[in-house]
Structure 1
Amino acid sequence: MGINDPLMAFLRGNEGANVKVSLRTQRKTDSQVLQILLTAAKAWKLRGLDFDVTDVPSRLQQDCKLMGITQETTGWSGLK
């Protein structure tokens, strides 16, 4: 994932706002994307801002479940 990736551009452009990230159009949803989202969610939370992830592909949901990453631990509405 490069610096010009749409997800990275979106996060950089919305650092001071509550955000909802949809993974519906994200081309690549792997562990690198998950790491970026978890790190960003922590940063947003530290600033007192909301950070939600929706439309999580089933494969990434399975990976999250294996790692103990759930809707309860993240607050992401896209995890079931």
Structure 2
Amino acid sequence: MKCKRLNEVLELLQPYWAEAPDLNLLQILQKIADEAGFNKPLAELSDEVIIYQLKMRGTDKYEPIPGIKKDYEEDFKSALLRARGIIK
């Protein structure tokens, strides 16, 4: 894990862990995995899953992912016309 990612995980994890300070780190990671629907062994939990789950926590499950939200179109027709360069 690169230093930037480690800092991001720690920054996102701090307020989450503050809600349940009596849990240890593995219990916190297991709780995050359970919330994300991750059903593999905890050793296979990637930092991407942790970061995504902590960032999207508390949002509507149908809300677009923040990274792709800028490219989000409400309807297929507009998306198609924009992709073909017909509309800007």
Q: TM-score, normalised by structure 1?
A: 0.24
Q: TM-score, normalised by structure 2?
A: 0.22
Would you tell me which structure has more helix in proportion to its own residues? 2
Q: Which has the higher contact order (CA 8 A, sep 6+)?
A: 1
Would you tell me which structure has more strand in proportion to its own residues? 1
